[in-house]
Structure 1
């Protein structure tokens, strides 16, 4: 119901001819992440179970709350390790937010899918959904 960035057409159906290079780059980035922060790597390994690689002319990576633990990755083979680490940590942050949302129900989903609540993105310069917080959400049970 929510597809404000046309995510359903981002990933191509074709095979990625650079899949081996991208797999190697992702593996190197994960090893490098361990050198910077063992804790972040442990969190990554706990939450992210699968990374799949498919081509796209539109995006470099993605996640969906409908597939917890799964990241789609499409780094350019010329990216630095730091670029790829940033992609992986960025997607990890989505998954930690997805999990927190499942536990604490922060958002009002009726408002989120209502296009009248959307705003123009400062980054993408396109109409995007705004975060619609449910009043009282996030309160932890005592």
Structure 2
């Protein structure tokens, strides 16, 4: 297995869409009150626009010319208010490795690539969110050195 990472291209849309569905189904099992099983997160047109936008870089892990993982990122500029230091963040909106390829360090390779990219564009940090109950993802991110920055709480008002 010889994994390379590069920016996503239009030719990657079909495989990326399949992987997005894997993530959606996981989230729909965790939070059926929020996520709708069997739907899609992005249309083909939306993916094309995201892939071509430098503010939303998407990276794909490639093995033998096949997409086996992705990292959707968003460049965010701080501050949100006048009481915060001015800095740039790379937010990982979504990271997925094909369920048939897990356990082969592809996620780590993708994550390290994202870190290096973030450093190269002058980011202060890399952030992401993990849904409560997604214990495998949380364990992975802790293993690669991430830690909790803040906690988002909710109350459901049915």
Could you say whether these structures have the same fold, taking a TM-score greater than 0.5 normalized by the shorter chain as the test?
no
Q: TM-score, normalised by structure 2?
A: 0.28
Greater per-residue helix proportion: 1
Greater per-residue strand proportion: 2
Q: TM-score, normalised by structure 1?
A: 0.31
